[in-house]
Structure 1
Amino acid sequence: MTATAEGDLTVFVIGMRVNRLAAPRAWWPTFRAMRPMLRELSRDPDSGLLGFQLLLGLPRVVCTVQYWESPEKLIAYASDPAGHHRPAWAAFNRRARDSRGAVGIWHETYVVRAGSYETVYVDMPEFGLGRATGTAPVGRRGERAAQRLARPGSADPRAARG
């Protein structure tokens, strides 16, 4: 299977790392802050959030990979004074001043142009971009990765390398 995503998209990776397990007052509110934001975004079809995947695995790290329609919609949500993000960010900054590094956070934003991403899912439930946008049999988008990566309108599947 492959994701049915079309066009440009924005991938936003955000996570936290518990640096001091013995300081739950510093990291627990940060951990809990993401769920209301994701719920708020998921309930608003105009938010621009296509979907997300929670990833666990590294010791003391929680990470969410989010798929967005555009960087503009991501930034609009992050700066919306009526949304859950702004108060959560302000609260994190207040706690961070007093926590002496008990919790760390990071985010990375990638703007991915159409024809610059490719997905394959074998014996997997819907996951990642496929979960966010839906899946279809690989053959509908090309049997080879180079075909699926070909930029729209390109007759040459090797154009994805350029």
Structure 2
Amino acid sequence: MSDKPIDGRMTDDARGGVTVFLIGMRINKFRALRSWWPVSRAMPRMLKELSRDPESGLLGYRLLSGGPRVLYTVQYWESKEKLFAYATAPDKEHHPAWAAFNRRMREGHGDVGFWHETYVVPAGAHESIYVNMPAFGLGKAAGVVPVGRRGERARERLGAA
């Protein structure tokens, strides 16, 4: 998708439910490069692998920085089942990366921190609006449509009109 703003009011075109997965790391000791550098390199490899496989269930993602110490990713998935399937697949990038990360965590004595949050959002329990924006967030992951197709107000888009 283009990074060019789309004129007017748009909303996401997600059909059904969506799973939102936030995952990140915090560099606690910058000098401990051996602890955090490999961790920071693993996520782009996994996202590349997932992006090449339309059946993976990953709808889209955004890599973000929460300041000089925090790197994280917002991911949009078709379902929690597809997220769990990837996380436990022995033949995918996640499995060796997770094993290496756990080893570094034990050896690093707190050099790097880790967190994740998972939100399972049922159909009809989310809404979005993008005004004069390029496709962004869930809209970039699922596509966008004019607001009128899903309701002019947030209340309508959430099915609470």
Is this a same-fold pair by TM over 0.5?
Answer: yes
Q: Report the counterpart of residue 153 of structure 1 in structure 2.
A: none
The alpha carbon displacement at 1:56 in A equals 1.6
Q: Which residue number in structure 2 is paired with residue 154 of structure 1?
A: none
In structure 2, give the amino acid aligned to 1:56: S
Task: Measure, in 2, the Cα distance between the counterparts of 1:122 and 1:102.
Answer: 41
Gaps of 5+ in 2: 1-9
The residue aligned with 1:123 is 132
TM value normalised by structure 2:
0.91
Residue 140 of structure 1 pairs with residue 156 of structure 2 = no
Q: Which has the higher contact order (CA 8 A, sep 6+)?
A: 2
Question: How far apart in 1 are the matches of 2:61 and 2:46?
Answer: 12
User: Could you report, residue by residue, the CA deviation over 1:24-83 in whole angstroms, capped at 9, with x for unpaired residues?
Assistant: 111000000001100111111110111111122333111101111111111010000000
Q: Separation in 1 of the partners of 2:98 and 2:54?
A: 23
Q: For residues 3-152 of structure 1, what are the structure 2 equivalents within 5 Å? A: 3-150=12-159
- Deviation sequence 1:117-145 (CA, Å, 0-9, x none): 01111232211101101111112211000
Aligned-CA RMSD value: 1.0
Q: Is contact 1:14-1:108 (8 Å) kept?
A: yes
**Aligned AA (1:21):** F
Structure 1 outlier segments of 4+, above 4 Å: none
> How many angstroms apart in 1 are the aligned matches of 2:143 and 2:118?
22
SS in 2 for 1:101: coil
Q: Which has the higher strand share?
A: 2
Percent identity, please: 64
Give the unaligned 5+ runs of structure 1: 151-156
